[in-house]
Structure 1
């Protein structure tokens, strides 16, 4: 099942994408977290409309908590960036490295990514996002998938020079519009094994990242279990699981995003998240 949120005349509307089109959840609601918490397949109004006729919002239109993000979780990405950390390729984290994606960066499908004046090194990161469907704390690894509702995609946009100046990741990844999510949430039963999905990013049609989630250092179950240690997860929480190799900063020569670029992040069995980079103040 694909759960989405679109912009209706009276605000966000949660719907299901079926073979017939977009069908509103019944009773009408803009609260995707409540639908996720209820579990199962929601009832719909049975009045499909074409997908092309709606403007998609982030699958959860208004985040209740920041997205939990994971750094250095793909072996080849850790290898390509090892020199910047003065480490030898093949040196990987022993435990997951968590940080938060600031709620103010929230963005959605076709949303504009602003190339803020504070950065000259704007980069893309295609990431698989785990969506929590069941409340839990101290979740055993073997029960972790019981707490997963489904999956979506994030472009974990990053200002590399801001990261470098601040000496950590938060500020450079927290700027307005830097957290596109979408295009929808695909339920776990439909995705199947999320630890073996093709993942790709493209800039203006040129493939930049092309990998598989099987290169993750810590798999989905490990991430859910680890972050839940002393930390209660609730329905609608999201965990961005890291990005593979091929980011613009480490291309030779580096190839960062600029205004006018169209960036697409695609994950097998989920879909394509597409956004355009714009200059500050652009309409």
Structure 2
């Protein structure tokens, strides 16, 4: 199943199920019961959503404005330095524990939205990532059992303002500029994804490949990440985990490569679709 959030032509925020025919909207009655996809996940009602949505005729995807699939996550947790290729290009060794930082929800937009390069910096970098969406509360979960707590997967662009990221040892400042990151187009449920290590991810800037990797190159895999995080906190339905970016980021290129107004950035992951955004300057 592919589930997504969006704004309808009449301005109503909604969600539904994406199929080859288009987007089947959940409908007013279903939304009255579950306001957002996060509420659907918390209730364990994905099958109920699918039945309600499939009963409605498909909408042309071009008639809706895509939002991040989870519009109001309790947490967006990001993992840094989590591909062996990226660790190598930074000149570091594999860390003993996952490197963790937080993004705020209002820093993340949906598919086809304009990412905003802030007035204060031109060092706007791309980071293609696999996003994991939690489906049920997870606390003290073993890595071997962790995938049972996953609702689905999506593409993520952890857009980074590199000079602000490096102001201190804490990444937060460079990772939470408003409207600097994106997620989507949809959340794809695990039954349609298969083995994560078999997936490939590619990031393209203006059509040119800038990152390419197997998800199998993760230094800490999804199970290990969930085990570590759930030791510290309770992961909640709708929480998003961005699992890190591979080598090829603009910061470590020679010359350095930054996103600029008019650019198009795409993150494509096998079976999850393509997340596409354009770049604009802050007004």
TM bucket normalised to smaller: over 0.9
Q: Which of 73, 78, 81 does residue 72 from structure 1 map onto?
A: 81
Do 2:73 and 2:240's aligned partners in 1 also have CA atoms closer than 8 Å?
no
Alpha-carbon distance in 1 for matches of 2:176, 2:81: 17
- 2:238 aligns to what? 236
Do 2:132 and 2:152's aligned partners in 1 also have CA atoms closer than 8 Å?
yes
TM-aligned CA deviation for residue 46 of structure 1: 2.6
1:106-162 Cα shifts (integer Å, max 9, x gaps)? 211111111112212110000000000011211111210110010011100001111
1:4 aligned onto 2:1? no
Matched residues, number: 273
Do 1:101 and 1:179's aligned partners in 2 also have CA atoms closer than 8 Å?
no
1:52-104 Cα shifts (integer Å, max 9, x gaps)? 2222111112x23231000000001011112xxxx4xxx11111111111223
Unaligned runs of 5+ in 1: none
TM-aligned CA deviation for residue 33 of structure 1: 0.7
- 2:37 aligns to what? 32
1:14-52 Cα shifts (integer Å, max 9, x gaps)? 110123221112533240112223244222233112222
Of the structure 1 ranges 175-184 and 3-12, higher mean CA displacement relative to structure 2 is found in: 3-12
Structure 2 residue matching 1:34: 3-state secondary structure: helix
- 1:103 aligns to what? 105
Q: Quickly say closer, same or farther: Cα 1:101–1:95, change in 2 above 3 A.
A: same
Structure 1 residue matching 2:167: 3-state secondary structure: helix
Unaligned runs of 5+ in 2: none
TM-aligned CA deviation for residue 10 of structure 1: 4.8
Larger helix percent: 2
> After superposition, where does 1:244-283 map in structure 2 within 5 Å?
244-281=246-283
Alpha-carbon distance in 1 for matches of 2:102, 2:22: 34
> After superposition, where does 1:1-283 map in structure 2 within 5 Å?
1-8=1-8, 9-26=10-27, 27-29=29-31, 30-37=35-42, 38-41=44-47, 42=49, 43=51, 44=53, 45-61=55-71, 63-82=72-91, 87=92, 91-281=93-283
Q: What is the TM-score normalised by the length of structure 1?
A: 0.92
Q: What is the TM-score normalised by the length of structure 2?
A: 0.92
Do 2:74 and 2:236's aligned partners in 1 also have CA atoms closer than 8 Å?
no
Alpha-carbon distance in 2 for matches of 1:229, 1:39: 26
RMSD: 1.4
Q: Quickly say closer, same or farther: Cα 1:131–1:225, change in 2 above 3 A.
A: same
Structure 2 residue matching 1:176: 3-state secondary structure: coil
Runs of 4+ in 1 over 3 A off after TM superposition: none
